[in-house]
């Protein structure tokens, strides 16, 4: 299944590839160049479709779990003081999403969206630690009474567009889709220091399924 966030891009790339392949077939006489150009068009379309794929996921129903909002690799876990939304000592788990990962983002917990902010910025390589403070990003906070979680969509060197269909007051459902970052990116998940983190650096995460932390 292709994500609704990618319909426009897939359509445009598809049209370009069809037209480019047709022009190559009819107007390029050198066979090696002709089939090479058609092959590039097919690979480009295949990559675009793969990037915007949106598989279904089975989310754990336990309300005491914080679920990964992104597919990718855990590149950083550190202690911080979060004074923007949680306003307490916290743990930051950073997940790097390569261009080959699924890029649809999902809510990590159920509750109410209590905070949303878009911050313009740079486009540093997303796995660098300083990208969390300097890159373009959105900050989203969800609370469900006793638990607050802050997570950040961070644009990367290749990614140039963050999609977040979120407003303060929205109802969040753990594992439900809320947006994506197009073409390579990072997501930071920030939880209170009292939670037990269940992943380690180097682990692969699956959005909507992998348990990031447990309420203790």
Active site residues: 185
174 C-beta neighbours (distance < 10 Å), count: 22
How far apart, in whole angstroms, are the C-alpha atoms of residue 108 and residue 68?
Answer: 6
Lookup: tokens for 184:
């390579």
Beta-carbon contacts of 143 under 8 Å, excluding residues fewer than 6 positions away, are 111, 112, 114, 149
Task: Please state, in angstroms and as integers, the Cα–Cα distance from residue 53 to each residue in 58, 169, 210, 212, following that order.
Answer: 16, 29, 18, 23
How far apart, in whole angstroms, are the C-alpha atoms of residue 183 and residue 101?
Answer: 9
């Amino acid at each position: 299944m292709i994500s609704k966030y990618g319909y426009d891009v897939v359509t445009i790339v598809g049209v370009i590839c069809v037209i480019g392949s047709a022009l190559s077939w009819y107007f390029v006489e050198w066979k090696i160049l002709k089939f090479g150009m058609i092959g590039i068009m097919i690979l480009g379309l295949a990559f675009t479709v793969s990037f915007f794929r949106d598989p279904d996921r089975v989310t754990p129903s336990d309300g005491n779990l914080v679920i990964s909002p992104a597919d990718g690799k855990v590149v950083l876990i550190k202690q911080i003081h979060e004074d923007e939304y949680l306003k307490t000592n916290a743990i930051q788990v950073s997940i790097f999403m390569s261009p080959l990962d699924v890029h649809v983002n999902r809510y990590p917990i159920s509750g109410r969206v209590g905070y949303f902010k878009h911050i313009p910025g740079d486009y540093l390589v997303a796995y660098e630690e300083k990208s969390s403070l300097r890159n373009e990003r959105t900050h989203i906070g969800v609370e469900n009474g006793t638990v607050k979680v802050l997570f950040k969509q961070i644009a990367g060197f290749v990614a140039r567009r963050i999609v977040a269909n979120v407003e303060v007051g929205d109802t969040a459902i753990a594992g439900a889709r809320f947006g994506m970052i197009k073409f390579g990116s990072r997501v930071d998940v920030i939880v209170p220091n009292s939670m037990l983190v269940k992943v380690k650096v180097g682990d692969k995460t699956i959005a909507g399924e992998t348990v990031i932390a447990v309420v203790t």
